[in-house]
Structures are given as structure tokens and as C-alpha cells.
């Protein structure tokens, strides 16, 4: 088929990657890349490292042009049967194929936490997801050079933000639900090492949840469950992970389930695909899972675009999508590094103690790697991902 029309919803990691691949490999296809109204395609990883840190203005985090036609008009909904998009402006568009790459949204604190909404409105409680969030944290802390920041969360983003804010001279207290924050995301071995890096730098309240929040004119105060301890700060940042964000009819918290080639399971014959933080995958022998890392989203966007070209009769079958991309974060002068999706694993093996490299297995299949200061080792081991290792102990 020539002159097919393809719509891509979301101009982030996955969407721009898909657009670039289609533009390069099949220039005869008409591709429209939809960004939110008024939003430029941006590199979200620079919200913390660039904008929050004051090194970049949001405009400087703009992604390069993909060659596809960029439409700044939020997609309000789509009809999966007819592949018709409804746009914020009131316009509609029809497509031969669609890639949904609308990413994720930040998980908020539970709404039954007393004082949550007042704190959010005051600006003393914020998420850290959008460029606006990064600028809000930067601006609020700019007027108080040695602020007390309460960081709620224990994942990679929370660790990196705690480290960056400490480097900037702020006093960061960590508040996490788990006793070993991040263990679910990166495995217990790497998470314990990250905690060892945090301990000399931060007060840490672990194994606790916020029970109530009070916003004062000059500070925010969070009461923790269990002990009833009150922790005060100038600003509180919630980094409790993400939920998938899709246009209607998939606006709920469940994301878009995809098959092994990233075709939407909701509309298997409609040429609708999903990639990146919005896509929910199924690993053989495991339950469903979702990855929200930059390089992996880029890989998914390219994979969905290749499947689309195959379904249009323009390319070979790209095969099964398996997560193998690396990810990393700087934490107090060290590099937390990994590849694949550690939570797929049911057992771990320490490959190297120093630098730490942990292999995560599902049965005897290597599904992920995590480590500290082990970038080279991770790179060497990536080719073994998703292969069975019959000789492992
Ligand atoms: C602060 C922060 C720092 C991070 N740092 C790292 C890091 O260092 N390394 C790493 O690997 N990962 C990092 N991540 C995660 C990484 O940024 C995401 O996994 C990645 O951006 C996901 O790619 P995506 O394409 O699925 O979503 P996004 O890149 O978020 O792109 C989705 C785009 O779709 C748009 N959109 C949503 N709905 C619609 C709609 N209805 N119509 C039109 N457009 C829409 C969104 O506004 C957004 O621009 C970080 C995340 C955050 C929040």
C-alpha cells in the first residue's frame, strides 16, 4: 500500500522514535505526530537533570525534528473501530494505522491523605514529571538556597532527584513505603547499595506512609503512619512511580495491552499499536508488565513502527519485542545501571560483587541486569538477555 496515513499519539521517546523510523524507512507514508496542545516534543529525562537543576530551560529539552508532520493538538479520544481521532481543537482525523505513544502520568498520593489537595494547591507538594514540575521545583528552591526537601518515594527517579538536590546544597529527607526502597524496581542487591549511598547524606524514614499533611505559610509538615512522626520541609516532592496515560476510551489506569509485536490487543485487526510507558506487555511465563524507561521506550517506538510496516506489506516481521535496553542514574557520585526489566525476574545471582552486577532470572532465562558502577559489565552481558542459561547455579 502506498501513501498510507499513519497517526502517532504522543511526541516523547516512543512517538518520536516511531516517527523517525517511518520517515526514514518509508518516506512515502504520510505520518502525523500529535503532541499535546502547546507542548513541544521533549526529552523527559531532562526534567530533573536539566530543568530542575537549573542547567536548562524547558525549551532547551526539545527533541530534534523527526521529519514527520508535527500537530500540536491533544488527542481527546479515538474510535478503535474506525481509527478516527478526535482532537482538542474539535477537528477529527482518519488514519490507516495508529501508534499510541502517550506515555504515563505521575502516581499521586492517595486522596484520603488529609491535607493532600491543599498542599498540592499551595505548591509546597508537587510531582516531578513534566517540564513545568521541574521548573516549579527549581523556582521554589531558588529563593531558599539551603532548603529542606521531603522526597516521597524510593525508585530510580527519587534517588536521582535526592542526589541532584543534595549536590545543589539542599537538605533532603527520604520518606519511602519500603524498608529497602527501589527493591521492586531494581532488585534487593542494587537497592541496598543505593540505600548505603543515601544513608550518610539523608535522614531516611523507611517502611512508612504519609498519613496527613499540613501546609503552613512557611513550610509543609507530613505526619507519618506507624510512629506518628512529623517531618517538616520547605517543599515535598512525590516520586511514587507512574500510571499509563492513554486517550479515551483507554483513560483508566490499565494502559494498553499489546501482543508480542506491540499490536494493541483491544483492536488486533485495526492496525493500532502501542509503545512506551502506555503499553502493557506479557512476558512468556510471567504476568503482565510495563516499562517506563527512556531507551526502552525509544526501542518500543521503533519496534511498533516496524510491525506497522510489516502489516502494511512494506517490511519483514520484526519478531518478538523483548526488553533489553540499558538504563542508568547518577546517585551521589555513583552510577546505578541496568538493562531489561528486573521485576520480571523470580531469582537473582550476583555476578560480580565489586563493582556490583546482579543477574535477574525468570526460571533459567536471564531477563535483566542491575549494578552499581558496572556500565561496562552490563554492556557485555546485554547480548545474553532473554537466553536460557542452563548451567547457572
Ligand atoms: C523526571 C523524570 C526523569 C526521568 N529520567 C529518566 C532517565 O534518566 N533515564 C530513563 O531511562 N528514564 C527516565 N525517565 C523515564 C522516561 O522519561 C520515560 O520512560 C519515557 O519518557 C517514556 O517514553 P514515552 O514515549 O512512553 O512517554 P513520554 O516520553 O512521556 O511521551 C509521551 C508524550 O505523549 C504526550 N501525550 C499524552 N497524551 C497525549 C494526547 N492525548 N495527545 C497528544 N499527546 C499526548 C505527552 O504529553 C508526552 O509528551 C524519567 C522520567 C521522569 C518523569
Phi-psi region of 108 (alpha: psi -120 to 50; beta: other; left: phi over 0): beta
Give the C-alpha separation, 349 to 346, whole Å. Answer: 11
Query: Computed over its alpha carbons, how large is the radius of gyration of the chain?
Result: 22
Give the C-alpha separation, 113 to 215, whole Å. Answer: 13
Can the peptide bond before residue 69 be classed as cis, meaning omega within 30 degrees of 0? no
Q: What's residue 145's pLDDT?
A: 86
Comparing C-alpha atoms, which of 184, 240, 198 is closest to residue 360? 184
Please state, in angstroms and as integers, the Cα–Cα distance from residue 45 to each residue in 51, 88, 190, 319, 337, following that order: 10, 26, 21, 29, 15
CA geometry: angle at 338 spanning 333 and 342, to 5°?
A: 130
Q: How far is the CA of 363 from the centre of ligand 1 (A)?
A: 31
Atom 3 in ligand 1: residue holding the nearest Cα: 45
Q: Which ligand 1 atom is the nearest neighbour of the CA of 133? A: 1
Output the DSSP codes for 53-96: TTSS-GGGGBPPP-SSEEEE--EEEEETTTTEEEETTS-EEE-S
**Within 6 Å (CB) of ligand 1, which residues are found?**
9-15, 34-36, 39, 44-45, 47-48, 74-75, 101-103, 128-129, 157, 245, 247, 276-278, 292-295, 297, 327, 329
Residue 306 burial (C-beta neighbours within 10 Å; 0-12, 13-18, 19+)? buried
Which DSSP category does 391 fall into?
Answer: T
Q: What's residue 390's pLDDT?
A: 63
Beta strand 288-289 with 279-282 is antiparallel
Residue 216 has a CB neighbour count (10 Å cut-off) of 10
Q: What's residue 130's pLDDT?
A: 97
Q: What's residue 268's pLDDT?
A: 80
Residue 282 burial (C-beta neighbours within 10 Å; 0-12, 13-18, 19+)? middle
Per-residue pLDDT of the chain (393 residues; tens, 9 = 90+): 457 999 999 999 999 999 999 999 999 999 999 999 999 999 999 999 999 999 999 999 999 999 999 999 999 999 999 999 999 999 999 999 999 999 999 999 999 999 999 999 999 999 999 999 999 999 999 988 899 999 999 999 999 999 999 999 999 999 999 999 999 999 999 999 999 999 999 999 999 999 999 999 999 999 999 889 999 999 999 999 999 999 999 999 999 999 999 999 998 889 999 999 999 999 987 889 999 999 999 999 999 999 999 999 999 999 999 999 999 999 999 999 999 999 999 999 999 999 999 999 999 999 999 999 999 999 999 999 999 876 554
Is the pTM higher than 0.85?
yes
Q: How far is the CA of 216 from the centre of ligand 1 (A)?
A: 33
Q: Which of 12, 162, 275 to mutate to test the pocket of ligand 1 (most atoms within 8 A of CB)?
A: 12
Q: Which of 15, 20, 50, 102 to mutate to test the pocket of ligand 1 (most atoms within 8 A of CB)?
A: 102
Q: How far is the CA of 50 from the centre of ligand 1 (A)?
A: 15
Q: Which ligand 1 atom is the nearest neighbour of the CA of 325? A: 11
- SS3 of residue 195 by DSSP: helix
Q: What's residue 57's pLDDT?
A: 97
Q: Which ligand 1 atom is the nearest neighbour of the CA of 275? A: 26
Atom 29 in ligand 1: residue holding the nearest Cα: 12
List strand residue ranges (DSSP E) for 80-144, in order: 84-87, 92-94, 97-100, 104-106, 125-127
Give the C-alpha separation, 277 to 347, whole Å. Answer: 25
Atom 4 in ligand 1: residue holding the nearest Cα: 45
Q: How far is the CA of 56 from the centre of ligand 1 (A)?
A: 18
- SS3 of residue 230 by DSSP: strand
Give the C-alpha separation, 300 to 96, whole Å. Answer: 20
Beta strand 84-87 with 75-79 is antiparallel
- SS3 of residue 232 by DSSP: strand
Amino acid at each position: 500500500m502506498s501513501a498510507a496515513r499513519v497517526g502517532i499519539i504522543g511526541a516523547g521517546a516512543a512517538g518520536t522514535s516511531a516517527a523517525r523510523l517511518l520517515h526514514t524507512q518509508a518516506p512515502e507514508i504520510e505520518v502525523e505526530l500529535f503532541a499535546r496542545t502547546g507542548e513541544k516534543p521533549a526529552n523527559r529525562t531532562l526534567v530533573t537533570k536539566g530543568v530542575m537543576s537549573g542547567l536548562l530551560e524547558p525549551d532547551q529539552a526539545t527533541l530534534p525534528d523527526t521529519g514527520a508532520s508535527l500537530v500540536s493538538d491533544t488527542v481527546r479520544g479515538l474510535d478503535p473501530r474506525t481509527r478516527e481521532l478526535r482532537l482538542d481543537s474539535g477537528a477529527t482525523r482518519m488514519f490507516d494505522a495508529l501508534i499510541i505513544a502517550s506515555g504515563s502520568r505521575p502516581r499521586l498520593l492517595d486522596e484520603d491523605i488529609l491535607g493532600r489537595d491543599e498542599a498540592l494547591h499551595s505548591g509546597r507538594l508537587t510531582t516531578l514529571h513534566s517540564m513545568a514540575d521541574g521548573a516549579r521545583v527549581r523556582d521554589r528552591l531558588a529563593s531558599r538556597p539551603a532548603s529542606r526537601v521531603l522526597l516521597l518515594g524510593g525508585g530510580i527517579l527519587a534517588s536521582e532527584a535526592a542526589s541532584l538536590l543534595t549536590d545543589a546544597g539542599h537538605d533532603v529527607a527520604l520518606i519511602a513505603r519500603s524498608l529497602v526502597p527501589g527493591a521492586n524496581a531494581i532488585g534487593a542487591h542494587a537497592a541496598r547499595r543505593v540505600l548505603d549511598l543515601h544513608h550518610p547524606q539523608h535522614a531516611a524514614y523507611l517502611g512508612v506512609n504519609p498519613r496527613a499533611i499540613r501546609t503552613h505559610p512557611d513550610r509543609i509538615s507530613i505526619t507519618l503512619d506507624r510512629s506518628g512522626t512529623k517531618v517538616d520541609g520547605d517543599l515535598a516532592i512525590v516520586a511514587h512511580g507512574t500510571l499509563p496515560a492513554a486517550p479515551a476510551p483507554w483513560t483508566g489506569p490499565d494502559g494498553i495491552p499489546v501482543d508480542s509485536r506491540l499490536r494493541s490487543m483491544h483492536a488486533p485487526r485495526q492496525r493500532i499499536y502501542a509503545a512506551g510507558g502506555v503499553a502493557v506487555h506479557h512476558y512468556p511465563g510471567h504476568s503482565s508488565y510495563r516499562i517506563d524507561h527512556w531507551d526502552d521506550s525509544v526501542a518500543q517506538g521503533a519496534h511498533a513502527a516496524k510491525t506497522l510496516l510489516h502489516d502494511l506489506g512494506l517490511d519483514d516481521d520484526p519478531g518478538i519485542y523483548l526488553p533489553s535496553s540499558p538504563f542508568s542514574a547518577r546517585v551521589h557520585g555513583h552510577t546505578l545501571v541496568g538493562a531489561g526489566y528486573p521485576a520480571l525476574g523470580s531469582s537473582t545471582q550476583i555476578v560480580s560483587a565489586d563493582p556490583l552486577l546482579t543477574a535477574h532470572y525468570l526460571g533459567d532465562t536471564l531477563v535483566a541486569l542491575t549494578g552499581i558502577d558496572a556500565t561496562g559489565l552490563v554492556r557485555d552481558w546485554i547480548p545474553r538477555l532473554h537466553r536460557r542459561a542452563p548451567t547457572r547455579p
